[in-house]
Amino acid sequence: MYLISKALQYGAPFFIITSPVTSYADQIISINRNRSSAGFSLDIPLIMLIASVMKVFYWFGAYYDVSLLVQAVITIGVQIVLLKVALDNRPSPGTKSGIEHTPFSNLDAGGLSRPYEFWQWKNARPYWMFLAYFAASLTFIHVLMSYSQTYIDLLGYIGLAIEATLPLPQIIANHSSRSCKGFRLSVVAAWVLGDTTKLSYFFFGGQFVPWAFRLCAMFQCVCDCYLGFQFYLYTPRVAGSPRDQESWGAEEKDIRMI
């Protein structure tokens, strides 16, 4: 147990800090190389940016492990680059397999739509204006309320709860299509490994980690296991042709930070 604790204490922080880059660098390169963000959900940068900004403000009150703060700052930078690349390479409106907006998209032709077309704007400027107003508003509120421990705790739980919803788009997509096409077992294994490492570090790493982080990691581990169950449930028992397998692998999209 001592050796495991030491390994987590020194190895896990490096893994946590570098995970935003290792998780999304390939996605950014792929979109830029293909000159198209078709099939990529813009809700991913939205969720990660809001959650990460709130986690940064949460540190100025909770003073949790510095590696988690550095991870949040790096995540903001990576997600800004990802959003910029995705917006610059959006397919034309109406194009098949265009940008998806799960899990908050219109349900169907007669379903509910987002108020004011939130995060579905045609121009890039409203996206950056929203993020700027959000950061400025949170700064103002934080200056007024930072003395309140209730506010600090609420900020942390809300931010991490938002981040914890990140696996839900893939779960909803798999359930709706009754298929895991485009989603490989290797990705599930990577997610399980990453979240298990984080969870182990949060409990046994010896650093101060608020319960908000632990609850978020536990929820994500449950989602990872359910994704694995979906993979088992929806994957055909008889392997397809090599050509089909190659096509499936090419559609893989790793949309979440480990």
Reported as a single tens digit per residue, the pLDDT across 215-234 is 888 998 898 889 888 888 88
Top pLDDT among 20 and 41 is at 20
97 pLDDT above the threshold of 50: no
Condensed to tens digits (0 to 9), the pLDDT of residues 129-156 reads: 999 999 999 999 999 998 999 999 999 9
pLDDT at residue 74, as a whole number = 96
Residues near 145 by beta carbon (within 8 Å), at least 6 away in sequence: 151
Residue the block writes with tokens 């390939």: 26
User: For the chain, what are the domain ranges?
Assistant: 2-95+117-250
Q: What single DSSP character describes residue 92?
A: P
Query: What is the pTM for the complete model shown?
Result: 0.76
186 pLDDT above the threshold of 70: no
243 pLDDT above the threshold of 50: no
d(CA 185, CA 196): 16
d(CA 67, CA 105): 34
